[in-house]
């Protein structure tokens, strides 16, 4: 076999080894990614307002309910400008309860 043909065989064999190794690595990574459970989200709206007696909060509640959107109401308490809000759990384990915008 001539040296140019022998060189071509070496190059093809090297490329074949690289392709086989790359396929094996990709297969392992793909299996690991598929096995890990992706984060999930319970899509709820976190509605922060001044309670159901507040017209704006009541309007938002009405709109969300009429559209069938799940929401959780967190009521602000305290003097205007110094209100505090007690938030529900934003996550439960690896599951997000609300979507952040």
Tell me which range, 7-21, 40-54, 59-73, is most confidently predicted by mean pLDDT.
59-73
pTM: 0.54
Confidence check: pLDDT of 34 > 80:
no
Domain boundaries, the chain: 1-36, 40-98
Q: What is the pLDDT of residues 51-94, one digit of tens each?
A: 888 899 999 999 999 988 889 999 988 888 888 988 888 888 88
HEC profile for 71-101? Answer: EEEEEEECCCCCCEECCCCCEECCEEEECCC
């Amino acid at each position: 076999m001539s040296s140019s043909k022998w060189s071509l065989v070496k190059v093809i064999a090297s490329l074949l080894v690289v392709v086989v190794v790359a396929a094996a690595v990709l297969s392992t990574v793909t299996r690991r990614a598929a096995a890990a459970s992706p984060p999930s989200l319970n899509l709820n709206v976190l509605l922060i307002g001044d309670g159901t007696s507040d017209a704006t909060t009541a309007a938002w509640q009405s709109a969300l309910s009429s559209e069938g959107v799940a929401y959780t109401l967190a009521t602000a308490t305290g003097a205007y400008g110094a209100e505090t809000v007690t938030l529900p759990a934003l996550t439960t384990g690896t599951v997000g309860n609300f979507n952040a915008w």
